[in-house]
Structure 1
């Protein structure tokens, strides 16, 4: 299942908390021209290193489909960042 929403929360050292919700589909549509260039660059890199493009694409798809439910938590001193993929 494709992720629908990425939520980012962070605590600043001064005690303020911020939250940002990013919908994946509209961002993907806006950045689709860059995504096409990235896929073309990946294809060239696969051919240059003799890696199967189909295998690389399959691995990338499996990684993206495994993202929903993932949480990244980073804490450095008094600053904390949480990224949650739904």
Structure 2
């Protein structure tokens, strides 16, 4: 499971902005939303006849593969770097 999300924004004028977001406290605060989203996903799996266990396993594999992922976005002279650890 990812532990830290780092966001860095390079602006054309001035110093870059760097934000560190710990994943676990944010996940605990958003736990009711996560439970609701899981319930909706389970209903969607039943409606579209997708194996619920297979869908949950796939979601877990995606979450496990996130550490080490980087997103680099550049638009004009502004750049955003998102790094998941």
Normalised-by-shorter TM-score class = over 0.9
Pairwise CA distance, 1:11: 1.2
Name the TM-score, length of structure 1 as normaliser: 0.94
- Runs of 4 or more off by more than 6 Å in structure 1? none
- In the alignment of these two chains, the number of paired residues is 85
d(CA) in 2 for partners of 1:39 and 1:13? 41
SS in 1 for 2:72: strand
Question: Residue by residue, what CA displacement relative to the aligned partner does 1:44-63 show, whole Å, maximum 9, x if unpaired?
Answer: 11111111111110000000
SS in 2 for 1:21: strand
What value does the CA root-mean-square deviation take over the aligned residues?
0.9
SS in 2 for 1:68: coil
d(CA) in 2 for partners of 1:46 and 1:82? 34
SS in 2 for 1:69: coil
Residues 36-55 of structure 1 aligned to structure 2 (within 5 Å): 36-55=35-54
Structure 2: segments with no counterpart, 5+ residues = none
